[in-house]
Chain A
Amino acid sequence: MRLRAALAAGGAVGLVVALGACSKNTGEGDQAVDTGTARTGAIATDPKDSRGPAPEVRGATKGGTVYILRENKISHLDPQRTYSFAGLMGSQLFARTLTAFKDDGKGNVTLVGDLAETPGTNVNSDCKTWEFKIKDGVKFEDGRPITSKEVAYGIARSFDPDLTGGPTYLQEWLADSPQYDAKWDFKANKTSLPPGLSTPDAKTLRLAFAKPRCDLPFAVSLPASAPLPADKDTGVNLDNLPFSSGPYKITKNTPSVEMVLERNTNWDPATDPIRHQYPDRFVWSFGADNSTQTNRVLADNGNDAHAVATGGVPSELIAKVANDAALKDRTVLAATPNAYRLSINTQRVTDLPVRQAINYAIDRESITKNLGGQYGAVPITTLMPPTTLGFKKYDAYPAGATGDANKAKEVLAGKKPALVLGTSDDTSSQESATQIKNALEKAGFTVTIKPIPGDSYLDEVKKKSNPWDIWVDSWAADWPSGASILPVLFDGRNIKAEGNSNTSYINDDDVNKEFDRVLAMDPSKQADEWGKLDERIMKELAPAVPLYVEVYYLAHGSKVGGVFIGSIFGWPSFVNAYATS
């Protein structure tokens, strides 16, 4: 009796489980999605480009609330400490910077002045002295005008070793040393400015470097150049309640739960070339994972109709979302500049043919399929992602979509190398590792997968002395120039004991010289050179296997519009977002 009752209940559970549709998947609905659009872009030369207001978005309406769903809190809100994608894109709503990218979401980007009237003046045309003129009419949330003093103070406080997490370009360039905080102590000199930084008048900001820094206009597009009045500096506590210079101000922040941004009435659209102020409020809501977020916005229930699921559609829901034509205008699909590669530790795998054989053997199709196919990742064969300015497509080791085990065996010429594959221990990384192992073993390699605790994975592979042969690494450039990719990842002269970005640990004199040559060129002329150098590095050194670029596929509620994937960081941008009723 007991048995029968239990079985009946079990059957009911089974029915509930089987409540999905039972139809045949023929795979025919698959159409190619163009996610590989190359970027066109430049630095604005006409000061008109830097003036506001930003052109109106078609169909946008004022008022209402836009909800932004995200699993974890934004790691840092303090602009000087912001470096995560969510932080960089989220801070656009409350932090203005010296320069900014005008981005149409379709791949056309222009670097324009944001707080500055132009994207910087190269005073002596040697990239060593740069000047910015602050616009008239730009104000903080309390109505105070923003002058060059507050911008300079913002840069100065990023020297404070307590304020961890942010980029270090400006500090290192100004101090001309990676030990910038030893060269200039912020806490002891709060009323003065770091070496090289000066404010000749309230409108002018001047940066002088010892070496040419041609990338400076790009570097000050990061929120580290956001202004802050010294009396509003609350040290590490600024991280939970930054002081706004943008169209919105943070009125309430409950870490890991909710953050509310409301209109900043002191923001003047006439000064801002990129931002709008459509909704009354933005509410960031933290806690729901990608799957929950997507399910919520698809259910379109209550506030969720006004919500954006920033986590993106997880691979398990892609089939549901992509096959539903009615959802087409509630999704955004774009390739990001976040490029994944299989780093080869050239200190261990010293044999070039072995590295080339790894390149031939890799099965990119299986790896991307597991991530949701074209809705999750697009295979690449180049070190620079297609979104880089001057990108040139090539395939140094043509092996088809699924790899060429025979060609790899041929290159190996009878060798059967044993490799240790380090991987983060989270599920999706382990699944990718399984794919890589299977593909390499088909070509005669022996692969041992070594799981590393996820929280220390990146630190471990960035140690020069790490014991692994291959591992998956990724790089998202801070600006779409080869200068922020190739020298960072492959210049061997920067190799340190730990914290390396050059995780192939490659050090080739000829290539290093080439880096110096290109970096000293005018930024507008560098683009083609980076494309050539990319191919040369892969052909001559094969320090890594380019795998794929991440694709952002997100869904939002039916009453949100204007959300697009920012071309620079490949994360949703909210500067055009609006709510409808």
Chain B
Amino acid sequence: MFRYLLRRILLGVTVLSAVSVLSFLMFFALPRDPVTGMCPKNCNAERLERVRTELGLTDPKPEQYANYMKGIFVGRNLGSAQGGRCDAPCLGYSYVNSEAVSDTFARVVPVTLSIVLPAAVLWLALGVGLGLVSALRRGSVVDRMSIGFTLTFASLQLYFVGAVLLLLFVYKLRILPNPHYVSIVRNPLEWGRGLVLAWVTLALLFSAIYARLSRAQMLETLSEDFVRTARAKGLSRPRVVGRHALRAAVSPIVTIAGLDVGAALGGTVITETTFGIQGLGRTAVEAVRQGDLPTIMATVLIAALFVVVANVVVDVLYAVIDPRVRLG
């Protein structure tokens, strides 16, 4: 188990470094000037050129990359224009936000976690629940309604559903406050009230996929030999479903859920934009709009980190849930 984990983590590290090189190449090759917006009205070329030199933008690309990486692991000195010493993990300094990029992320990552993790619990519960009920009561009214529900939401856009829910519950009925983020430590109730609309919207759209998937999985598993054997042995139906079939049916769902959660953490761009909540995704969008390169780079890296971590977690979970998978 330990060796397997270690191998997975090492693989993840190589993926991350590839992402860092790729995004570095991609963004620094873009025809954008990171010193834009530094003097809004009366710019002069000489001063801009000096700033570019000071920022190290005139250094060779490999050197810039090495400096960036060094910043992440041991910190570096960015010069007085960028707030001086920047401790590890140093992701650079954002001129647009006037703060170290790591400070920005320390603030926005908890927001995105607060949106995605509860939403994931909700969409898994709703999706798998619906899927199982459908599979067990195949062809019933419940099954049909569940299929109608999931197909409808699978065919809708997130921002569309979000806008309708927002209009209905916040502006018209006024039973929910405007979506916002309050730290769960400060006020758990307000935390929930502020984010519930985002959770529900995400859950409605994602659960559709999980319901379809888990219904199919469950039906397939129920027709497998080992289930028949268990039934033939005289085990009760709930026991068979609960102990045997569910376990086997759930493992592929875990794989996909892991990928989805990882990808979602990397940027709930649309959700955050629709509800105006300042998390990782919105920060990324703003950074792109304002040409804030250090922030864009950091977003890509952090998003990749989430995906890689989610992958490792999934692999481990997989082994725990499904006895057929052997680690080695």
| A455→B97 contact, CB < 8 A | no
The answer, yes or no, to whether A395 is at the interface (CB within 8 Å) is no
| B148→A499 contact, CB < 8 A | no
Tell me the nearest residue of chain B to A292, going by C-beta: B276
Please report which residues of chain A, range 168-213, place their CB below 8 angstroms from some CB of chain B when the two chains form the complex. Answer: 168, 172, 178-179, 181, 187
A255: B residues at CB distance < 8 A: 97-99, 104, 107
Assuming the A-B contacts A164-B38, A295-B171, A455-B290, are A256 and B97 also in contact, with contact meaning beta carbons closer than 8 angstroms in the complex? yes
Contact with B along A57-93 (1 / 0, CB 8 A): 0000000000000011101100000011000000000
The answer, yes or no, to whether A483 is at the interface (CB within 8 Å) is no
Please report which residues of chain A, range 3-44, place their CB below 8 angstroms from some CB of chain B when the two chains form the complex. Answer: 4-6, 8-10, 13, 16-17
Contact with B along A531-562 (1 / 0, CB 8 A): 00000000000000000000000000000000
Most chain A CB inside 10 Å of its own CB: which residue of B46, B80, B276, B291: B276
| B276→A289 contact, CB < 8 A | yes
Q: How far is the CA of A501 from the CA of B40 in the complex (A)?
A: 10
Assuming the A-B contacts A6-B152, A17-B164, A235-B80, are A83 and B41 also in contact, with contact meaning beta carbons closer than 8 angstroms in the complex? yes
The answer, yes or no, to whether A240 is at the interface (CB within 8 Å) is yes
Expressed in whole angstroms, the minimum distance between the Cβ of A451 and any Cβ of chain B is: 14
| B171→A299 contact, CB < 8 A | yes
The answer, yes or no, to whether B151 is at the interface (CB within 8 Å) is yes
Tell me the nearest residue of chain B to A76, going by C-beta: B98
| A299→B170 contact, CB < 8 A | yes
Expressed in whole angstroms, the minimum distance between the Cβ of A326 and any Cβ of chain B is: 16
Q: How far is the CA of A453 from the CA of B33 in the complex (A)?
A: 12
Contact with A along B129-156 (1 / 0, CB 8 A): 0000000000000001101110110001
Expressed in whole angstroms, the minimum distance between the Cβ of A472 and any Cβ of chain B is: 17
Most chain A CB inside 10 Å of its own CB: which residue of B83, B166, B282: B83
CB-contact partner of B289 in A162, A179, A454, under 8 A: A454
Expressed in whole angstroms, the minimum distance between the Cβ of B299 and any Cβ of chain A is: 14
The answer, yes or no, to whether A107 is at the interface (CB within 8 Å) is no
Contact with A along B97-112 (1 / 0, CB 8 A): 1110000100100000
The answer, yes or no, to whether B36 is at the interface (CB within 8 Å) is yes
A295: B residues at CB distance < 8 A: 166-167, 170-171
B47: A residues at CB distance < 8 A: 161, 179, 181
The answer, yes or no, to whether B42 is at the interface (CB within 8 Å) is yes
| B278→A256 contact, CB < 8 A | yes
Q: How far is the CA of A167 from the CA of B42 in the complex (A)?
A: 7
The answer, yes or no, to whether A237 is at the interface (CB within 8 Å) is yes
A456: B residues at CB distance < 8 A: 31-33, 36, 291
Assuming the A-B contacts A161-B47, A161-B51, A498-B45, are A287 and B282 also in contact, with contact meaning beta carbons closer than 8 angstroms in the complex? yes
Tell me the nearest residue of chain B to A497, going by C-beta: B45
B51: A residues at CB distance < 8 A: 161, 164
| A2→B44 contact, CB < 8 A | no
Please report which residues of chain A, range 484-529, place their CB below 8 angstroms from some CB of chain B when the two chains form the complex. Answer: 496-499, 501
| B177→A301 contact, CB < 8 A | yes
Q: How far is the CA of A395 from the CA of B6 in the complex (A)?
A: 76
Expressed in whole angstroms, the minimum distance between the Cβ of B293 and any Cβ of chain A is: 10
Please report which residues of chain A, range 229-263, place their CB below 8 angstroms from some CB of chain B when the two chains form the complex. Answer: 235-237, 239-240, 254-257
A9: B residues at CB distance < 8 A: 148-149, 151-152
The answer, yes or no, to whether A288 is at the interface (CB within 8 Å) is yes
Q: How far is the CA of A10 from the CA of B155 in the complex (A)?
A: 10
Contact with A along B12-34 (1 / 0, CB 8 A): 00000000000000000001110
The answer, yes or no, to whether B277 is at the interface (CB within 8 Å) is yes
| B289→A455 contact, CB < 8 A | yes
Expressed in whole angstroms, the minimum distance between the Cβ of A237 and any Cβ of chain B is: 6
B33: A residues at CB distance < 8 A: 456, 459
The answer, yes or no, to whether B174 is at the interface (CB within 8 Å) is yes
| A5→B147 contact, CB < 8 A | yes
Q: How far is the CA of A9 from the CA of B145 in the complex (A)?
A: 9
| A496→B174 contact, CB < 8 A | no
A164: B residues at CB distance < 8 A: 38-39, 51, 81, 95
| A5→B144 contact, CB < 8 A | yes
CB-contact partner of A296 in B36, B145, B178, B291, under 8 A: B178
The answer, yes or no, to whether A469 is at the interface (CB within 8 Å) is no
B31: A residues at CB distance < 8 A: 456
| B148→A301 contact, CB < 8 A | no
Contact with B along A95-109 (1 / 0, CB 8 A): 000000000000000
Q: How far is the CA of A323 from the CA of B80 in the complex (A)?
A: 53
A187: B residues at CB distance < 8 A: 80
Report the interface size class on chain B.
35 or more
CB-contact partner of A161 in B40, B45, B81, B167, under 8 A: B81
| B177→A2 contact, CB < 8 A | no
Please report which residues of chain B, range 286-306, place their CB below 8 angstroms from some CB of chain A when the two chains form the complex. Answer: 286, 288-291
CB-contact partner of A75 in B41, B42, B96, under 8 A: B96
The answer, yes or no, to whether B268 is at the interface (CB within 8 Å) is no
Q: How far is the CA of A299 from the CA of B46 in the complex (A)?
A: 51
Q: How far is the CA of A235 from the CA of B78 in the complex (A)?
A: 14
A137: B residues at CB distance < 8 A: none
Tell me the nearest residue of chain A to B79, going by C-beta: A162
CB-contact partner of B81 in A71, A162, A167, A301, under 8 A: A162
B144: A residues at CB distance < 8 A: 1-2, 4-5
Expressed in whole angstroms, the minimum distance between the Cβ of A551 and any Cβ of chain B is: 22
| A455→B32 contact, CB < 8 A | yes
| A299→B174 contact, CB < 8 A | yes
The answer, yes or no, to whether B221 is at the interface (CB within 8 Å) is no
Tell me the nearest residue of chain B to A494, going by C-beta: B42
| B152→A499 contact, CB < 8 A | no
Expressed in whole angstroms, the minimum distance between the Cβ of A308 and any Cβ of chain B is: 15
Q: How far is the CA of A460 from the CA of B277 in the complex (A)?
A: 32
Please report which residues of chain B, range 34-64, place their CB below 8 angstroms from some CB of chain A when the two chains form the complex. Answer: 36-48, 50-51
A443: B residues at CB distance < 8 A: none
Q: How far is the CA of A123 from the CA of B156 in the complex (A)?
A: 71
Q: How far is the CA of A455 from the CA of B95 in the complex (A)?
A: 14
| B44→A178 contact, CB < 8 A | yes
The answer, yes or no, to whether B255 is at the interface (CB within 8 Å) is no
Expressed in whole angstroms, the minimum distance between the Cβ of A429 and any Cβ of chain B is: 13
| A16→B278 contact, CB < 8 A | no
A240: B residues at CB distance < 8 A: 98-99
CB-contact partner of A257 in B32, B151, B177, B278, under 8 A: B278
The answer, yes or no, to whether B168 is at the interface (CB within 8 Å) is yes
The answer, yes or no, to whether A578 is at the interface (CB within 8 Å) is no
Q: How far is the CA of A254 from the CA of B99 in the complex (A)?
A: 11
A299: B residues at CB distance < 8 A: 170-171, 174
Most chain B CB inside 10 Å of its own CB: which residue of A9, A13, A161, A301: A9
Expressed in whole angstroms, the minimum distance between the Cβ of A55 and any Cβ of chain B is: 33
Expressed in whole angstroms, the minimum distance between the Cβ of A304 and any Cβ of chain B is: 7
B97: A residues at CB distance < 8 A: 73, 255-256
Contact with B along A266-305 (1 / 0, CB 8 A): 0000000000000000000011110010011011011010
| B98→A236 contact, CB < 8 A | yes
Tell me the nearest residue of chain A to B42, going by C-beta: A168
Q: How far is the CA of A148 from the CA of B178 in the complex (A)?
A: 46
Q: How far is the CA of A295 from the CA of B171 in the complex (A)?
A: 7
A286: B residues at CB distance < 8 A: 278
Q: How far is the CA of A168 from the CA of B48 in the complex (A)?
A: 14
26 contacts between A and B (CB under 8 A): A2-B148, A4-B144, A4-B148, A6-B152, A8-B148, A75-B37, A161-B47, A164-B51, A164-B81, A164-B95, A165-B38, A179-B46, A235-B84, A255-B104, A256-B97, A287-B180, A289-B273, A289-B276, A295-B166, A298-B171, A455-B32, A455-B36, A455-B290, A456-B31, A459-B33, A501-B41
Nearest 3 A/B pairs, CB to CB: A5-B148, A499-B43, A455-B291
Q: Which residues of B contact A (CB under 8 A)?
A: 31-33, 36-48, 50-51, 80-84, 95-99, 104, 107, 144-145, 147-149, 151-152, 156, 164, 166-168, 170-171, 174, 177-178, 180-181, 273, 276-278, 282-283, 286, 288-291
Given contacts A289-B276, A459-B33, 13 further A-B contacts (CB under 8 A): A17-B164, A161-B51, A165-B39, A167-B42, A178-B42, A255-B104, A255-B107, A257-B107, A287-B282, A456-B36, A498-B48, A499-B43, A499-B45
